[in-house]
Structure 1
Amino acid sequence: MAQDAPAAGAGAATSPAVVIEDVERFYRIYDDAAGKPTAEQLQRDYLDPGSEGLHQFAKRRDITGARISDTLGKRPDLYADAKRCMRVLPQVRQRLSQALHTLGELYPEADLPPVTIAVGRGKPVGIGYPDTGLQIGLEALCAVEWLNPDVEDRFVHVIAHEYAHVQLAPETANLEQPTVLERSLVEGAAEFAAELTSGKVAYSHFDALTRGRELEIETAFKADMDKTDTSAWLDNSSVEKPGDLGYWVGYRIVKAYYRRASDKRQALREILRMQDPKAFLAESGWYPGIRLQEKGR
């Protein structure tokens, strides 16, 4: 946890459920069929008896037995490789439960719906809503090696990041045509919440990409921050070229805001319930190249 996190109240929160049983059922079916289950088997034996979280995932992202079977046929290695990620899920559940318990203590207004880790059709990595919880695609997150080479750490910190999105004010998180600044602050708030609760940000690859280039990158960001074309800063990562530097700049703005605040608990609330991104930026004291080293470093 960050060194200057607010003190948590004893017994102030419970941990949300972290459901991993859908993954176990999928791979029983997968193994019994020698890696080639039929669409009917996947629908009848995996999806239909699944958890409520899996049902929500399937409903919102059109995951069917036929669509999983189609992806299995086209990308068999995706599902074979994901078995190594399945093996760390008990440890992920334990660490994640503690991180989300911490979130509930530091932010008592938090919604704490369940987290469901399941197997999907190759994408997306995850979706989340306050009423139905967070759903993570095991095979999709397992494939994103560049985020963090340590599988257990990747799952813990990425899920902590995605869970923070469930807490964000809908009017901020669901803007129809957000600016670079607005989208970056949404992602930066989630990155900061992940660090505060799980110990590290989700997008750990930024350290190597940005070291010594802070002023250069953030000067370019400042010039672009009012644009509604976000493609240079967000949603532009690939295996060949990790990107999404808007996440990193947004995180640094949020961290600057938190560091300036005398009331850390209230600052976290203001971060997660952000109403006016431009005012938030002004109050953060952020400027291109700002130094934000941890205390004692």
Structure 2
Amino acid sequence: MKIKINQLLAVCFFTCATVNAQSGFSNDPLNAVFETSDTEKFWKAFDKMETSKDNPFTEYMKDGSLGVKGFTEFRIINADSLYTMVKRRKADYLKTRNVLDGIGLKEKRARAIYSAMKYWYPDAKFPPVYFVYGRFNSGGTVSKDGIIIGTEMLSNLDGVMGLVAHELIHFQQDISGDGSLLKNTLMEGGADFISEMISGENINTGPFRYGETHLDALCREFVTKLKNDDNTDWLYGTSKKDDRPNDLGYWMGYKISAAYFNKQKDKHKAIHDILNIKDPLKFLKESGFLDPYIKEYIESKKMKFDDFYKPYSDETHEITFTVSVPDKNDEVYITGNQPELGSWTPSSIKMNRKNAKERSITLKIHFPAQFKFTKGNWESQADIKGKDKWQNIRIEEKPSKPVHYEIINWSDNQ
């Protein structure tokens, strides 16, 4: 069913058609939509598991809303994956069967949060909020069609509006950058900062407590890693090297965003800036939050303060890149973090055919350089022998010998 924020109680017993990406969007916070019909379809399929010869979740996937479609690629995967998980964690799913029963009571709370968003960011759009069932791997996300909440992750509705507020911020964000840890941290932490302003809730209290307790050590560590694209120990997982919780990047991004906000006289413009960061390093510099730790770092590296905020050095050096390919017909492109490497356009720089199994190109590039090899599109990235799968290759300084990489596979072959 669709539940309008300003009419939750009045219409929560009526089943409506699924909203589409156009009609479901609103500029009015009082006309936002909660879509819960997928949960009804899920439990209908769940109740058929013991009697159906076929996978009952096929229909759930086929007839699901745009929320189910948006949750499919990286979370649900397909009906068989969902069926396997439901059978394995049947008891855990059952605990959430009635978790949305009190959703109507969130009417005033939702209206207040959405109206606060409109106050701080008049350009805000209010997409549908889809409550769907997935495979216990995401509490929430956004797609082009709206906000999607993984209902199986909810033990109750106490924090659901904080989660909705966080994902609402993601829907407004337009943050540029090259996939660095800093960019991702500002995206998540900025969402936490603004969502706390409009909801009064912080959904990541564990990382925040740990971060405040270990502030100096974490800031020193973050300074050394913020330009890299490796999120380990900061976002989405840890290496277990210490007792830190997951997602400390939310706390770090929050601190940087708060510092930037507090320095600005025009607070509404500050919110706009946090949502629309075009240069993460410039934003960090203007926040001033990490200045003491950056000064400490550059002294050890004999760098200039302003040079730290550059993505790479001013000088260029000639480098010859050579790659071995898995198939003699493979065409290979190189792309990376600077104009000389195509500025992350996957089809701008094609490597030359050296022989049947090798491709090569000589370029003048800046250091540090980050790059990847593709077949000319992001759907087909190279899996490089000895490198973490799908992460950027990074060269800090001019190598002492020619660089050679072996492509063992392509992402669209896996």
Does the Cα contact within 8 Å between 1:12 and 1:108 map onto a contact in 2?
A: no
| Pair 1:126-2:140 in alignment | yes
Would the alpha carbon gap of residues 229 and 41 (structure 1) be closer, same or farther in structure 2, given more than 3 Å must change?
closer
Asked whether the equivalents of residues 134 and 151 of structure 2 are also in contact (C-alpha less than 8 Å), the reply is yes
The corresponding residue for 2:290 is 287
- Residues 1:259 and 2:272 are matched in the alignment: no
Which of 53, 56, 64 is the matching residue for 1:41? 56
Q: How do 1:62-141 and structure 2 match up within 5 A?
A: 63-83=77-97, 85-92=99-106, 94-129=108-143, 131-139=144-152, 141=153
Do the aligned partners of residues 94 and 52 (structure 1) sit closer, same or farther apart at CA in structure 2, a change above 3 Å counting? farther
Q: 1:171 aligns to what?
A: 176
Q: CA RMSD in A?
A: 3.1
Higher RCO, 1 or 2 (CA under 8 Å, sep at least 6)?
A: 1
Say if 2:143 is the partner of 1:142: no
- The correspondence of residues 164-243 of structure 1 with structure 2, limited to 5 A, is 164-169=169-174, 171-172=176-177, 175=178, 178-236=179-237, 242-243=245-246
What SS class does the counterpart of residue 289 from structure 2 fall into?
coil
> How far is 1:277 from its partner?
0.9
Unaligned runs of 5+ in 2: 1-26, 294-414
Distance 1:63 1:39, change over 3 A: farther
1:208–1:189 CA distance, 2 compared to 1 (3 A): closer
Count residues in correspondence.
Answer: 265
TM-score (norm 1): 0.76
Mean CA deviation greater in 119-128 or 180-189:
119-128
Correspondent of 1:57 among 60, 63, 71: 71
Which range is displaced more, 83-92 or 112-121? 83-92
Is the CA contact 1:180–1:229 (under 8 Å) kept in the aligned structure 2?
A: yes
Bigger helix fraction: 1
SS at match of 2:56: helix
Cα 1:243–1:37, aligned 2, differ >3 Å: closer, same or farther?
farther
Letter in 1 for 2:258: K
* Cα distance in 1 between the residues matched to 2:49 and 2:274: 48
SS in 2 for 1:169: coil
CA distance in 2, matches of 1:216, 1:35: 53
- Structure 1 runs not aligned, ≥5 long: 1-10, 144-150, 291-297
1:157 aligned onto 2:162: yes
The equivalent residue for 1:7 is: none
2:123 and 2:99 map into 1 onto residues whose CA distance is 32
**Counterpart Cα distance in 1 of 2:288 and 2:34:** 37
**Secondary structure of 2:235's match?**
coil
* Distance of 1:262 and 1:37 partners within structure 2: 63
- Is the Cα contact below 8 Å between 1:42 and 1:69 reproduced in 2? yes
More displaced 10-residue stretch of structure 1: 33-42 or 206-215: 33-42
Equivalent AA in structure 2 for residue 164 of structure 1: I
State the distance in 2 between where 1:242 and 1:39 align: 41
Percent identity of equivalent pairs:
27
Once structures 1 and 2 are overlaid, which stretch shifts more, 54-63 or 197-206? 54-63
Q: Deviations over 1:226-260 (max 9, x none)?
A: 2332212111169x963211110110000111111
2:149 maps to a residue whose letter is I
**Hey, what's the Cα distance between the residues in 1 that align with 2:49 and 2:120?**
46
Q: In structure 2, what residue type is equivalent to 1:160?
A: A
**1:208, distance to aligned residue in structure 2 (A):** 3.0
Contact 2:192 2:254 in 1 (8 A): yes
Cα deviation code 1:118-161 (max 9, x no counterpart)? 112333333313x311111111x327xxxxxxx42332212211
Shift of the 55–210 alpha-carbon distance from structure 1 to 2, 3 Å rule, reads: closer
CA–CA distance in structure 2, aligned partners of residues 113 and 23 of structure 1? 19
Using the TM superposition, give the Cα deviation of residue 188 of structure 1 relative to its aligned residue in structure 2, in angstroms.
Answer: 1.0
Pairwise CA distance, 1:281: 1.0
- Distance in 1 (CA, whole Å) between partners of 2:61 and 2:211 is 42
Provide closer, same or farther for how the CA distance between residues 36 and 225 of structure 1 changes in structure 2, counting only shifts above 3 A.
farther
Higher gyration radius (CA)? 2
Q: Secondary structure at 1:123's aligned position in 2? A: coil
